[in-house]
Structure 1
C-alpha cells in the first residue's frame, strides 16, 4: 500500500525539479504605469492641539490654591510696605500702584471657601488703603 500526501513518501519524484507557477506570487507595481494623482493633504493636527489646549485650561485645584496664597502674601507685603512708608514719612506713589496691582490680582477665586474669605478681607483692606491714598 502506498500513501500519497503530505505525510506520505513518494518515490520517483524529485523536490528540486518542482516548479510552481500561479497567480499568488508577489509582484511590485510598475511605477511608470500608475502615476499617483491624489492631491497633497495637510495633516490633521488641529484636533490634537485643541485637546492639548483644553487640557492646559483645566487647572489643578492645588496649583490654583498655591497661586491664590501667593497673591494674598504679596498683597500683605505691599500693605506692610505702605504701613512702613507712612510711619517713616516716606509715602511713595509706586506703593499705590503696587496696591492697585495687588487688588486686581485678588479678584480670582481659589476654590477653597476659607481661603476665599481671607483673600476677600485682604482685598477689602487694600481697597480701603487705596481710597485713603486717593485723599492725599
Structure 2
C-alpha cells in the first residue's frame, strides 16, 4: 500500500526484484528466542514534564482580573480585622489573637494590579493597618 498525501491509501505496483547481482535487499530479521529479564536493557524512568514549583508558579501568575480580585479580597480582610480590633477595643477585651490576625493579614502577599487608583487605595489600607498595629504594640509594651 502506498500513502499519497491526505487523499488516502492506494495499491502499490507490487514488489520489485532486487537490483544488481548479489546485492543485499530488505530482509526480515530472523526471530531470536524470547529475551529473559536479564537481557532487557534498562529504561530510564519518565520524569515529570514540570516540577511542582512550576505548576504553583503558573497558578500564581493569573490574569489581571484575578490579581485585582485577590488584592481587593485581601484589602477586605484587612478592613474586617481592623473593624474587629475597633469592636474589641471598645468592649475592653482586646487579646493577643487580635494582633496576630492583623499581623497575618498585613503580611499576606499582595498581588500587583494595573489600576493606579486601586493601588493607591490598597496602599492607604495597608498604611492604616500598620499604624494601628504599631500603636497597639506600643500600648502593649507600655502596659
Q: Same fold (TM over 0.5)?
A: yes
Task: Tell whether the 8 Å contact from 2:82 to 2:102 is kept in structure 1 after alignment.
Answer: yes
Name the SS of the counterpart of 2:33 in structure 1. coil
Output the aligned Cα RMSD.
3.3
State the partner residue of 2:95: 92
Q: 5+ unaligned residues in a row in structure 1: which ranges?
A: 1-21
Structure with max Cα Rg: 1
Give a deviation string over 1:12-50, Cα, whole Å, max 9, x none. Answer: xxxxxxxxxx8899967413288966432322x44x225
Q: For residues 29 and 57 of structure 1, what CA distance do their matches in structure 2 show? A: 57
- Give the alignment's TM-score, normalised by structure 1: 0.64
User: Size of the alignment, in residue pairs?
Assistant: 113
1:68 aligns with 2:61: no
Q: 1:71, CA displacement in angstroms?
A: 0.7
Matched, 1:118 2:124: no
Look up the match of 2:50. Answer: 49
Q: 2 CA distance for matches of 1:83 and 1:33?
A: 80
Residues 78 and 125 in structure 2, CA contact (< 8 A), matched pair in contact too: yes
Alignment of 1:1-136 (within 5 A): 29-32=30-33, 38-43=41-46, 45-46=47-48, 48-50=49-51, 53=55, 55-105=58-108, 108-111=110-113, 112-134=115-137, 135-136=139-140
**Runs of 5+ in structure 2 lacking a partner?**
1-16, 19-24
Deviations 1:76-118 (A, max 9, x none): 001101111112222222111111111112x524323222211
